[in-house]
Structures are given as C-alpha cells and as structure tokens.
A and B are shown apart, each in its own frame.
Chain A
Amino acid sequence: MMHIILYELGYTESTLATAISNDQRTGSHEFYINLITKHLIAKNTNRDDRKLFSEEIVNLKRLRTKADYNDEIIGESQGRYSLTKATDIYKILRKVI
C-alpha cells in the first residue's frame, strides 16, 4: 500500500506526515486505507474488488489490533487467516492498480 501511495498517488514521506499530523486524531493506517479507497473509487475500479478490499483490509486491521494491543492469544488459524487476507488484498491491489 505504501508503494502505491508513494509511487502511484505521488505522496512523499513528508507530505504524508504533514497530512496525518494535521488531523488531531491518531490513525495513520486508517489514513492510508482511505487514500487507497479514494483512489479505487476515482479509478472506477470494479465494485466487487473495491468491496473486497475495504472489508478485508479492515478485518485484517482488527486482527492486528487484537494481536498488538489486546491481551489475547492469536492462534495458528487466525495467523493463517491473516496471511490469506493479506494475500487477497495484495492480489486485488496488483490487479487494479
């Protein structure tokens, strides 16, 4: 995703940092996801692909929050699920961008 944001959308590290810091709330990941979402809509990307991206990336984000911040064990099945989701998202982005 960062590759797309930097090289496809033309952001730089500093413009990204400025844009995110202008918003008082935390959420760089959310910001990046929204940039991609906007881009997919603007490019009139196939709706099914867009829906899949937005749903799966958020589900992946939830798992990441659970793994990093919650006192919960992430088992093998959820680990595999995450890998599958990440692969799905990668495939969608490769296909549409």
Chain B
Amino acid sequence: MNSQEYLKDQLECLVESFPSIRIRYESDTSNNCHFIDVVPLEIYKHNVNYQQAEDEITLDFITRYPTENIVFISEGGETVLTKVDYEIFGNMFHVNRITAISEDVVQHYILNYSNQLSTVGIFKAFEPVYYNLGSTLLVGTLPVIHPFLTGINYYASSFQYMMNHEDIGILPVTPCLPVESIKDDEQTVLAA
C-alpha cells in the first residue's frame, strides 16, 4: 500500500469518528508532502479528541513513511490547497455548520441588519431559509454569492459569520460545501 492509499484509509476513519468535519487532501509529490485541510476550525483547534486522533495519524504515518511529510491545516492558515486530490466529509458536516444560531439571533439579524447588508451590497443575494425541526431551528440560506467570488456558492456558515462579525461591516465569508454538492436526500431532510 502506498502512502496515499494508506492516508486515504486513515482519513476516512477520521471522518467516521468525527462526522462533522470535512477533509480535503492534496499530495505534493515533488516535495514528498501530503496536505490535509480540516474544517471546521473549531474542531481542528479545540476538540481534544480530534487533536489526539490527528497526532496518532501523524505519528503512524511518519513511522511508516519516514521520508514523506504530512501537514494538517485548517481555515485561516497560510497554506492554501490548489489541486485538491479528493474531498471527504462526514454526514454531519453541513448540518453542524448551520445549527449554531438561535432563533433570537436570527430575529435580531432580520430586524437590524438584513436591509443594511443588502443596501451596501456585501451580498448580491441573501435570503435566510428556516427549517423548523422541533425545538431546533436550523438556518440555511439560498446560495449566497459573494460579489468578489461570483459563481461560488456559499451557504449556512456565511450567515453564522455575519452574526459573529456584524460590527465589521465587510463580512468574511467562509466557503462551505457548494450547494450543488448537497445530496438530494439531505436537502429533503432539511426541508421536511
């Protein structure tokens, strides 16, 4: 088994253990290096169990393949993947990204900021969509298109980041799953 095959197996196990993460993998063969981009940042930075699993993979990998390097990265870092070899994500990945907003916060946003944001043109299109699942209010969006990144679809966490950075005015938008990559059955569940 070569290092890429081995790593793919390990990363699939990692996603199974942490279903709310997404992993993008890129192999830099000219530098004998493997890059693994893990989101969300919250888990990468603060989940001790995840960090332990990451360390185990790292140690195991460099013991098996001592002349190849492995680097785990996440959002906000300096390294940006340019030729992603593959992407895997757990079945809780996008759901997790859109459940962290309470109804109060949503109402607060609607009342105070939606007009302002559309007026200044930070987003060409933004329309919150609510999925009421019992006591949990999921908040999604129609595709949110950042004017500087036209054509790239964002959803869900854009809204979350808006709330977190409402004072800034210009809002950092975190790329999430492209809307078209959400499976049909998952959309059905959300819309139910």
Q: Which residues of A contact B (CB under 8 A)?
A: 19-20, 23, 25-28, 30-31, 33-34, 37-38, 41, 47, 51, 54-56, 58-59, 61-62, 65, 69
Contacts and interface: CB of A to CB of B under 8 A. Distances in A.
B55 A26 contact: no
* Chain A interface, >50% SS class: helix
Contacts of A65: 30-31
Contacts of B59: 38, 41
A55 B51 contact: no
Interface residues of B, number: 20
Contact of B67 (A30, A41, A62): A30
Contacts, number: 63
DSSP class of B's interface residues: helix, strand, loop or mixed?
mixed
Interface of B: 28, 30-33, 51, 55, 58-59, 62, 66-69, 71-73, 77-79
> In this complex, which of B55, B71, B77 has the most chain A Cβ atoms within 10 angstroms of its Cβ?
B71
B62 A55 contact: no
Contact of B33 (A19, A51, A56, A61): A61
Nearest to B77: A55
A41 B68 contact: no
